[in-house]
């Protein structure tokens, strides 16, 4: 049986970022990933300045700068009329917060996170199936028959986390009643002006929104949408969809969007799962991070960003505390209030982006909320200066 001091279960965005964070402090960890290969097909991820700072601080700044696409920022339009609602200037934001806002292809980002790591510490084809929790260690059982004894475990195994299930039983993710359509177009197949003027447009409308933006230095256009539905849709990164069904999900779309949807020849779909806001983030020798701890609807584009902040801050606490279990307690004390605030913000954005009443929506934007809600406090976070500080969360998102 293999033995290790720290096992990271899940080699996705959170798991690989955590491995880098530990590496920068000379802390050895082994990563156990279910998939036979690292990386994912198709999807993309936006990363706001504070999360870029966390990625820089875990030593992958050079790698992400080489693959990140910098959009000038999204134009938001009404889905039915095409009326311009809001422009978020990401170049100005980058100036203000001191770091860029990147759009990544996920597979590129996974490669960038894996690059600095010692490949012999990444164990592919290891799907965790069950866990025995003892006082002094945890035994991990994998589908391939392997068993690993770990003194401490970081659970980064995503929204359907097996580690979470082992700790909290039926604290399962639930279907949100929303599904996602996703498609990728080659730049040359994108109709002229459909996503003008900057190649980044968000349409918001009754019960749905859709965002289209370039990735891979402008070679590909990523289309991702969220649609309210009463049909159950499975979760998974590679469930094939029907482009006609996708088009039918956006009835009466304004001409630019209709033209863009006409160009879609292949698409995928999946159901959005989340869980109630909870303090169930781990205990004792096991710490959950990323979606395993705090899955959220993607309406603020912060799920992965929070995973990157988690990774940096967990690394700092592990370096600062002799006892990793004490580091985990401190990590939860600092992280939980901030991430709960971001989960509440994401829920509020979701309601706003799917409003039936376009006039109310427009007034809310004019009143200063914007399509991202009041999010400056999220983007203004300084991971290196604030990793050990009690977070400040605006009252409207602080709960209680």
Stretch that binds ligand FAD, among 31-39, 74-82, 189-197, 260-268 (CB under 6 A): 31-39
State whether residue 45 is helix, strand or coil.
strand
Residue 301 binds to ligand FAD (criterion: CB under 6 A) = yes
| Contact in structure between 181 and 246 (CB atoms under 8 Å) | yes
Among residues 7, 60, 307, 342, the one that binds ligand FAD under rule CB under 6 A: 307
Comparison of 135 and 279: residue with beta carbon closer to ligand FAD: 279
CA count, 13 A, side-chain hemisphere, 265: 4
Q: Is 213 a catalytic residue?
A: yes
Among residues 19, 60, 233, 304, the one that binds ligand FAD under rule CB under 6 A: 304
Residue 199 binds to ligand FAD (criterion: CB under 6 A) = no
Q: Which of residues 317-356 bind ligand FAD (CB under 6 A)?
A: none
CA count, 13 A, side-chain hemisphere, 124: 8
Residue the block writes with tokens 């050895």? 28
Distance, CA of 219 to CA of 311 (rounded, Å): 30
Q: Which of residues 68-127 bind ligand FAD (CB under 6 A)?
A: 126-127
Comparison of 127 and 362: residue with beta carbon closer to ligand FAD: 127
Q: At what angle do helices 49-57 and 13-24 cross, to 10 degrees?
A: 50
Q: Which of residues 215-274 bind ligand FAD (CB under 6 A)?
A: 224
Residue 158 binds to ligand FAD (criterion: CB under 6 A) = yes
Residue 34 binds to ligand FAD (criterion: CB under 6 A) = yes
Nearest approach, Cβ of 366 to ligand FAD (angstroms)? 25
Comparison of 190 and 305: residue with beta carbon closer to ligand FAD: 305
Among residues 162, 183, 257, 288, the one that binds ligand FAD under rule CB under 6 A: 162
State whether residue 131 is helix, strand or coil.
strand
Residue 155 binds to ligand FAD (criterion: CB under 6 A) = no
- Helix (H), strand (E) at residue 188: none
State whether residue 86 is helix, strand or coil.
strand
Nearest approach, Cβ of 77 to ligand FAD (angstroms)? 19
Distance, CA of 127 to CA of 36 (rounded, Å): 10
Torsion of CA 379, 50, 161, 155, to 10 degrees: -140
Distance, CA of 256 to CA of 212 (rounded, Å): 11
Among residues 4, 6, 8, 9, the one that binds ligand FAD under rule CB under 6 A: 9
Residue 42 binds to ligand FAD (criterion: CB under 6 A) = no
Checking 135-140 for CB contacts under 8 A at 24+ apart, the result is 137/285, 138/7, 138/285, 138/286, 140/7, 140/9, 140/32
Among residues 94, 114, 128, 148, the one that binds ligand FAD under rule CB under 6 A: 128
Comparison of 151 and 235: residue with beta carbon closer to ligand FAD: 235
- Helix (H), strand (E) at residue 167: helix 162-168
DSSP 120: G
Site residues, ligand FAD (CB under 6 A): 9-15, 32-35, 45-46, 126-128, 156-158, 162, 180, 224, 290-292, 298, 301-305, 307
Annotated active-site positions, please? 213
């Amino acid at each position: 049986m293999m033995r290790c001091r720290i096992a990271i279960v899940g080699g996705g965005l959170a798991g690989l970022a955590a491995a880098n964070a530990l590496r920068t402090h000379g802390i050895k960890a082994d990563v156990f990933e279910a998939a036979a290969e690292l990386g994912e097909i198709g999807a993309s991820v936006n990363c706001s300045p504070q999360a870029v700072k966390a990625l820089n601080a875990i030593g992958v700044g050079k790698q992400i700068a080489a693959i990140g696409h910098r959009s000038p920022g999204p134009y938001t339009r009404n889905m039915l009329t095409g009326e311009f609602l809001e422009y978020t200037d990401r170049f100005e934001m980058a100036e203000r917060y001191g770091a860029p806002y990147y759009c990544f292809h996920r597979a590129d980002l996974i490669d960038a996170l894996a690059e600095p790591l010692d490949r012999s510490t990444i164990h592919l084809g290891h799907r965790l199936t069950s866990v025995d929790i003892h006082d002094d260690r945890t035994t991990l059982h994998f589908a391939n028959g392997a068993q690993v004894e770990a003194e401490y475990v970081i659970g980064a195994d995503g929204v359907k986390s097996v580690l979470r299930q082992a700790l909290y039983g039926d604290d399962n993710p639930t279907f949100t009643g929303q599904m996602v359509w996703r498609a990728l177009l080659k730049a040359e197949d994108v109709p002229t002006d459909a996503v003008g003027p900057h190649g980044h447009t968000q349409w918001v409308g009754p019960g749905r929104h859709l965002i289209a933006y370039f990735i891979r230095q402008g070679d590909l256009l990523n289309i991702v949408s969220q649609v309210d539905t009463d049909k159950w849709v499975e979760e998974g990164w590679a469930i094939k969809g029907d482009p006609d069904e996708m088009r039918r999900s956006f009835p009466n779309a304004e001409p630019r969007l209709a033209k863009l949807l006409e160009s879609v020849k292949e698409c995928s779909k999946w159901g959005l799962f989340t869980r109630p806001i909870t303090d169930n983030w781990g205990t004792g020798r096991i710490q959950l991070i990323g979606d395993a701890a705090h899955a959220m609807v993607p309406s603020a584009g912060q799920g992965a960003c929070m995973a990157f902040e988690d990774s940096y801050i967990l690394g700092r606490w592990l370096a600062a505390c002799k006892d990793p279990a004490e580091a985990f307690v401190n990590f939860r004390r600092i992280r939980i209030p901030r991430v709960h605030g971001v989960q509440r913000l994401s829920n509020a954005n979701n309601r706003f982006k799917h409003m039936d009443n376009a006039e109310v929506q427009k007034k809310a934007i004019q009143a200063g909320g914007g399509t991202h809600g009041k999010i400056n406090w999220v983007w203004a976070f300084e991971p290196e200066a604030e990793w050990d500080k009690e977070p400040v969360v605006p009252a409207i998102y602080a709960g209680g």
